[in-house]
Amino acid sequence: MITQNDADVIVVGAGPGGSATAFHLANRGLDVLLFEKTSFPREKVCGDGLTPRAVKQILDMGIEPTIENGWLRNKGLRVIGAGHRLELEWPEVEGFPNYGLVRTRSDFDELLARTAQKRGVRLHEKTRVTGPIMDEQTGRMIGVTTKNSEGEESKHFAKVVVAADGVSSRMALALGLERRDDRPMGVAVRTYYKSPRTHDNYLESWLELKDQNKLLPGYGWIFGMGDGTSNVGLGILDSSPVFQSIDYKDLLKRWLDQTPVEWGFRDENMTQQVRGAALPMGFNRQPHYVKGMVLVGDSGGMVNPFNGEGIAYAMETGQVVAEVIEKAMKAKSTFEMENELNQYPTVLKDRLGGYYTLGRVFVKLIGNPQIMQIATKYGMASKPLMRFTLKLLANLYSTTGKTKTDRIITALTKIAPAA
Ligand SMILES: Cc1cc2nc3c(=O)[nH]c(=O)nc-3n(C[C@H](O)[C@H](O)[C@H](O)COP(=O)(O)OP(=O)(O)OC[C@H]3O[C@@H](n4cnc5c(N)ncnc54)[C@H](O)[C@@H]3O)c2cc1C
């Protein structure tokens, strides 16, 4: 049976991007339908690491990340490489908290979705969006078709559709938006081990992943989860010549076999299978608005090329698009509404475009094993240089800041063309 159901906005996918978008739209008084093909809690392959940039987004949704509420805080990043072990505290940056967090994605994603629901969002779990509904006259998307776990099919109509359906984004593909090959991609794998390092109050990053003695562009991570386990994984960039051919599980095992046995990162302590997925970076799917549909998070390739962080950017782009959609909803004509929605790609480029262009250069450079070697050797020998690098890589600087590093990074992102 085909039923009908209308809303101001339809959001496809209740990952961090979709739930944040839906929350901010509902907060602005809009009626929102949020469809999620799975049901919560559900697993999502991730490192579970949240930098202060992501914490800001969590706070912006009114969530209190207290220890009593099950959150584990961290005060910075520990970097290991070239014989050095540096502990770098998160920088103090105006507008951002000075701590990071970890939380399993099964918990985290459910919390965000429930927070959106409490704000009035109509969440439908176990409901897959099967395709767009296009208006034949205007060529614009006016809704979506769905199928729930009982096999019931429905049609839903809205003025705007948000594709927050992750890296493979069937919604974007349905409108012909393929992934851009000139943008970086990463692959990351992770698993969990029972480990005495579970209460670590730093996120830990290992820079020297090697294939036949050649340094790879990427890093390994060890994030204590506070529940008796550590999330351990690694990510590699496609600027490496061996990107396609490498056995990621084997690389993970070879790296962990070199870590002290008492840390527990051995097969007998593994609590989940090694699983991996792609990291779409540097706006690898564009345009971010087309024919009544906007892209948020991984669907629009929003992962930071410098560090592989995606949660903060999925949530942030959700907050940005909610502001754009609110303005579009107040428009007095369809023409005016289209104009407002067409602003979204420009707003995104102004905010992240220059920074992502720098990120693409960085990815290309470290794809060369010699450059990676030199950068690790000389970078790790200097704590001030690494402090600067952390600000750059974690996108934690202030455009109005008075420090020299803030001014340098701001200038670089302004010179780099946003594309
Ligand atoms: C191994 C690994 C480690 C990572 N580690 C980190 C990390 O430590 N920190 C970090 O910030 N980022 C990390 N990332 C990146 C991060 O996981 C993603 O960037 C982030 O999940 C993107 O959020 P999203 O909401 O855009 O998409 P997703 O989280 O992928 O959410 C998309 C949602 O849409 C749903 N969906 C898809 N299609 C449909 C459909 N047709 N109908 C209904 N629902 C649909 C899916 O079920 C899913 O719930 C990691 C990625 C990998 C692979």
Q: Which of 101, 165, 302 to mutate to test the pocket of ligand 1 (most atoms within 8 A of CB)?
A: 165
Give dist(CA 222, CA 211) in Å, integer: 20
**With pLDDT > 90 as the criterion, what percentage of the chain qualifies?**
83
Cα 395 to ligand 1 centre (Å): 20
Give the CA dihedral 33, 34, 40, 45, nearest 10 degrees.
180
* Helices and strands, number each (H, E), in the chain: 12, 22
Q: pLDDT tens across 283-313, in order?
A: 999 999 999 999 999 999 999 999 999 999 9
Cα–Cα distance, 317 to 344 (Å, whole number):
10
At residue 203, does pLDDT exceed 90? Answer: yes
Q: Work out the pLDDT band at 1, boundaries 50, 70, 90.
A: very low
Pocket of ligand 1 (CB under 6 A): 12-18, 35-38, 44-49, 54, 128-129, 164-166, 170, 188-190, 233, 276-277, 279, 297-298, 303, 309-312, 314
Q: What is the pLDDT of residue 187?
A: 95
- The CATH homologous superfamily of the domain defined by 4-75+95-181+282-355: FAD/NAD(P)-binding domain (3.50.50.60)
| Per-residue confidence (pLDDT) for residue 180, from 0 to 100 | 94
Alpha-carbon distances, residue 191 vs 85, 225, 251 (angstroms): 23, 12, 13
pLDDT band at 17 (very low <50, low <70, confident <90, very high): very high
Cα 242 to ligand 1 centroid, rounded to whole Å: 25
Tell me: the pLDDT tens digits for 351-383? Answer: 999 999 999 999 888 888 888 888 888 889 898
Lowest mean pLDDT among 174-178, 267-271, 366-370: 366-370
Write the DSSP symbol of residue 300.
Answer: G
**The pLDDT of residue 3 is above 80:** no
Rounded to the nearest integer, the mean pLDDT of the chain is 94
| N residues, the chain | 419
- Model confidence over 237-250: pLDDT tens digits? 999 888 889 999 99
Res. 419 pLDDT band, cuts 50 70 90: confident
Least confidently predicted of 54-63, 66-75, 336-345: 66-75
Going from N- to C-terminal start, the domains of the chain cover 4-75+95-181+282-355
Containing 415, the helix (H) or strand (E) segment is helix 404-415
Read off the pLDDT of each residue in 119-125 and give the average, rounded to a whole number: 98
Whose CA is closest to atom 49 on ligand 1? 15
For residue 124, name the pLDDT band (cuts at 50, 70, 90): very high
The pLDDT value recorded for residue 79 is: 94
Band of the pLDDT at 2, cuts 50, 70, 90?
A: very low
